[in-house]
Structure 1
């Protein structure tokens, strides 16, 4: 998997940072490109000013972003969209387990669904999020989304993003407890 864009909200619940996780590392050309980005246009045509704050290793961000911490229990921060069509013996928890195996992550030992999340004190359902990608020929098996709590036998170090659209901020999980 390539780079993953993980939105981060301030205490008021407004998006004010994006953490870009690049497992293969960032070369000099990418550093220059990211540093040169000054604005971003939203779907509504509004422009957002951008500023590159830091490029570094995962542990450089532990004190400022919960998504790179270590925990045994992780909870949805954005809706998980299952990446395959559900079948009789292939429900959403089975898809989460398969995806963890394919990404060389440990399989969760518990995967209960969560009806709502409460970031910044505001109760949200999956339907409250933008959950669609419009790209010609793209098949999106899940357009509703769901929230989950994943419990692992051993602490897992983030970032953790799973499912359809996870490289654009969907399926993002944050730690419920920190062990590290």
Structure 2
């Protein structure tokens, strides 16, 4: 969706505001392979502005409670980078908080557009606000419903690969090495109430590459798969790209694994056309 397509939506605020969306502009746009770095920078900027505004509920951006412990249930802000019109360049940044952005949080988000998002030595990223809303407000594949999904950024395991004493891999019931990206993804799908018990038999398939745009494929090793500050629980770094097929449609967004609040482990629907 181009910025001009969103003008009629600029003043649209849902009863519960869960989404804020920006287009971005820069002399040199960052690539989708840098999504985790862009999201991490946006996250730090949000936290800085939340402190300036003396925000009461800082957890909506930090993901931490008053005791600095991680919040449960993933209700705080996710930061998703999406392709624009230029090859593999990021064109949009979407903030999503299932728990909702209250008025104070929205003020912080509105103020962030005045910040220089990218750091020293890089090209400035200018934020163009497209408005607030919910999962139905913006025409983004992230918020679609589908039974078939594919990776758009790598899924990164938070576990370590398991082996026997002689070096042989320990396999799970599905034949994947325990601790691998595939085995970890299956476990996390079973923990998520939206997807538990719904994956079809053999509904997970590993891909050799990620198709970021029709005819344009990138390998997982081309993506940044660690937050710049090393934050978050991370295992041996095994990562992969996958397709998923469920027994029924799943409501997006679907983001799983390490860095899922920073754009990693992100899936989009597979078109049948």
TM range (shorter): 0.7 to 0.9
CA contact (8 A) 2:255 2:264 kept: yes
Query: Secondary structure of the equivalent of 2:210?
Result: coil
1:43 CA drift (Å): 7.4
**Distance in 2 between the 1:137 and 1:75 partners?**
26
Cα RMSD for the two superposed structures: 2.0
Larger Rg: 2
Matched residue, 1:104: 193
Matched residue, 1:41: 118
1:129 CA drift (Å): 0.9
| C-alpha spacing 1:137/1:66, structure 2 compared with 1 (3 Å) | closer
Q: Unaligned 5+ residue runs, structure 1?
A: none
Higher relative contact order (CA 8 A, sep 6+): 1
| C-alpha spacing 1:32/1:66, structure 2 compared with 1 (3 Å) | same
Write the mapping of 1:1-180 to structure 2, written as runs, cut at 5 A.
1=74, 2-12=76-86, 13-37=88-112, 38=114, 39-42=116-119, 44-61=121-138, 64-87=139-162, 88=170, 89=172, 90=178, 91-107=180-196, 108-109=199-200, 110-120=203-213, 121-135=215-229, 139-177=233-271
**Distance in 1 between the 2:120 and 2:194 partners?**
34
1:15 CA drift (Å): 0.7
CA contact (8 A) 2:159 2:235 kept: yes
CA contact (8 A) 1:35 1:51 kept: no
How many residues are treated as equivalent by the alignment? 176
The answer to which of 110-119 and 93-102 deviates more is 93-102
Deviations 1:102-156 (A, max 9, x none): 2212242211100012222322000111111243675521435210001111011
Query: Secondary structure of the equivalent of 1:59?
Result: coil
**Distance in 2 between the 1:168 and 1:60 partners?**
22
